[in-house]
Copies of this chain bind each other. A is one copy, B any other.
Amino acid sequence: MTDPTPAHETHAHQTPTHWTLTLVCDDRPGIVHAVSGAVVAANGNITESQQFSSADTNTFFMRLQVMAPVDRAAFEQALAPVVERYDARVQLDVVGRPMRTLVLVSKAGHCLNDLLYRQRGGQLPIEVPLVLSNHPELAGLASFYSVPFEHRPVTDPASKQAMEQRILDAVDEHDIELVVLARYMQILSPELCAALQGRAVNIHHSFLPGFKGANPYRQAHARGVKLIGATAHFVTSDLDEGPIIEQNVVRVDHTKDPSELVSIGQDEESRTLTQAVRWIAEDRVLLDGARTIIFK
């Protein structure tokens, strides 16, 4: 993801900035000591720290919050020896900085509504320069939240390809860091999935057992499931099989008809997607192969 430097970081200054630092590298001894040494060199104080060593991939993951009276360049300079020695991927972000987010929708507005409502209430550090949709229905909702909305019908391969190009252009144009498929009912092409790898998140319903095919809520009703839920995951070329970020379920019983299951399921979709977006926007989600490390 791009990570634009806030204007106030361009000069050295004495007011401390609250930084988020994430680091991923091969797991070797001494990393924590090296990183904490860099923090000391930056006159920083660690206010939050989490780490995980993956036995599956022999990878080390770390997320720190550091209060430090330095600008980005100075902090990066302090970290440079660590990056070099451990061949580490390091990201610096400022706590609370809104992540630039493109939202894709179709007709159902429950996820978009929850994202924008919480964004406006200060509970979700994102900014949304654009909502793109293959249907016009949600223009009013976006307008209520003063978010630009663009409608592009997708009816055939040509218009589908045009939409995908528009998505890529919008990502460039608006410096998008995260693409959210908020019930966007189009299958993305493998090329688009590859282009958005690791920075696109999708939400879909979840049942125990899983149901394939059309109208899963009707199938779930027919089987009398007692739990229905939702899964938020990164987009990969296999649309619903990417690394899982968050899952929730809620208890239902025999008195619920399929339309009530849909309504209950939508609530789970909204809160699960919003939670996943929050964690991503707070730099709490790191990838370990097909798994996610979530530093809550």
Contact = CB atoms under 8 A, between A and B. Distances in A.
B29 A33 contact: no
A-side interface size class? 35 or more
B224 A123 contact: no
A55 interface: yes
Interface stretch (A40-48, A148-156, A159-167): A40-48
A32 interface: yes
Interface in A110-130: 110, 113, 117, 121-123
Contact of A294 (B47, B209, B231, B253): B253
A13 interface: no
A253 B292 CA distance: 9
Contacts of A290: 222-224
A120 to B, nearest CB: 10
Nearest to A117: B113
Contacts of A43: 29
B249 A249 contact: yes
Interface string A216-245: 000001111111010100000000110111
Contacts of A52: 48, 254-255
Contact of A227 (B54, B113, B249, B289): B249
A134 interface: no
Interface of A: 27-33, 36-37, 39-40, 43-56, 110, 113, 117, 121-123, 144, 206-210, 221-227, 229, 231, 240-241, 243-249, 253-255, 257, 263, 288-294
